[in-house]
Amino acid sequence: METRSFKVSYSPHVHNGASVHKIMWNVFLALVPATAVSVYAFGINAVRVLFVSTFFAIFFEALALLMRKRDWKQCFDGSAALSGLLLGLTLPPGISTPIIMIGSFVAIIVAKQVFGGIGSNPFNPALTGRVFLLIAFTEPMTTWPLPRGIEQAKNYLGLATTKTADAITAATPLAAIKEHASKAMPNVSLNDLFFGLHTPGSIGEISVLALLIGAAWLLYKKIITWHIPVSTILTVFVIATITHFLSPAKYPHPFFHMFAGGLIIGAFFMATDYVTAPIWPMGKLIFGIGVGLLTIVIRLWGGYPEGISFAILIMNATTPLIDKWTVPGPFGSKTLRRQS
């Protein structure tokens, strides 16, 4: 009987269809609500910042891939675009275009491609870019235009606002708290922090509600697990609660710490970055606790009003070690332990 030839490949011969591309797209989708709120709140300025950061991230990725003699079309795998978008979301809406481009350069070239591109970077690219800008361009990085709803915003915190050439600016809630820590506690509406339309801040961090909608999507699609965000936020909450009850006049309410600043976007969208965070559940919990501790320590006693970026980057450095320590025993190892 005649036989027939076939193509061969190694098992398994089926796949669930997951791809890096699809994961990245889902994270983009999860960032749509926060981006929409920021565009509503800050207008065309937000669009400009996000477009420039994303476009140049892809541009620098392509450039680096060409220099490394790799397929430059990999710049469209979504990872560079996502780093760019996340960088944009951590910037103040009024920041100038050249500074954003420098941020994208640091994020993609210095933090990612120098180490070998996707999968090889030890530090979160977007946050590396942001922290570089914060140190190098402190003034523009801490100048916060007020969002829309100017009437309410005028009385924001009861603090003086500053009128610059093109915007009215004010301190972020966390910065205000820092300045006034020793005096009377500024009155910040938790509602404003939660919905995010009336407080200044980084483009992506202002609306907790919008971020949580996106986070729910990531959890639902099983793109992230609960371990890192829950342990991070819970740690901040616990320390904030203890300090608040010890000295309510000095330390703000724990809900304030949860809703103000970059805790939510950091815990759900930055600390959960696959490449730079631990991989096992126990490791993720340790990592999250570390991020939470460093964040609240910097916020309460450090030199900066916000500490989540530094906290995540510092914990990124511990990831290889945590990964090594937290490998669970293989299937059946419990039985061996019981027997011995």
Partner 1 sequence: MSGIKSFNGGIHPAYNKDLTSGSETVLMPAPERLVVPVGQHIGAPANPVVKKGDIVKLGQMIAEPGGFVSSPVHSPVSGKVISVQPEEHPMGSRIMAITIENDGEDTMVEHQTISEPLEKDPDELKEIVKNSGIVGMGGATFPSHVKLSPPADKPIDFIILNGAECEPYLTADHRLMLENPESIVSGLEIISHITGVKKLYIGIEINKPDAIKKITKALGKKGTVVPLAVKYPQGAEKQLIKAVTGREVPPKHLPMEVGAIVFNVATAHAINKAVTEGIPLFERIVTVTGHGVQKPGNFLVRTGTMVSEVVDFSGGYTDDAAQLILGGPMMGKSSATDGVPVIKGTGGILVLPSAEMLTDAWGPCIRCGMCLRACPNQQNPQLLGNLIEKGLFDKITEDKLEEIVLDDCFECGSCTFVCPANRPIVQFFHMAKAYFRAQKRK
Summarize as ranges the residues that interact with partner 1 (CB under 8 A).
1-16, 18-20, 22-23, 74, 77, 79, 117-120, 225, 274-275, 279-280, 323, 327-336, 339
CA-CA distance, 150 to 143, in Å (whole number)? 17
Residue 272: CB minimum distance to partner 1, A:
10
What does each C-alpha distance from 207 to 202, 214, 265, 286 come to in angstroms? 10, 11, 9, 27
When the beta carbons of 198 and 284 are compared against partner 1, the nearer one is 284
Least CB distance to partner 1 at residue 2 (A): 7
Q: Is 15 or 163 the residue whose CB approaches partner 1 more closely?
A: 15
Q: Least separation, in Å, of the C-beta of 15 and partner 1? A: 5
Distance set, CA 169 to CA 87, 162, 304 (Å): 21, 5, 18
C-alpha separations of 183 from 80, 174, 249, 250, 323 in Å: 44, 14, 8, 8, 44
CB of 139 within 8 A of CB of 164?
A: no
To partner 1, the closest distance from the beta carbon of 233 in angstroms equals 20
Least Å distance, CB 55 to partner 1, is: 23
Nearer to partner 1, 303 or 330 (CB): 330
Distances 28 to 40, 81, 222, 306 between C-alpha atoms, Å: 18, 9, 15, 25
Q: Are 322 and 278 in contact (CB under 8 A)?
A: yes
Amino acid present at 236: V
Nearer to partner 1, 123 or 132 (CB): 123
Q: Which is nearer to partner 1, 148 or 334 (CB)?
A: 334
Other CB atoms within 10 A of residue 98 CB: 10
Min dist. Cβ of residue 285 to partner 1 (A): 14
Q: Which of residues 187 and 340 has its CB atom nearest to partner 1 in the complex?
A: 340
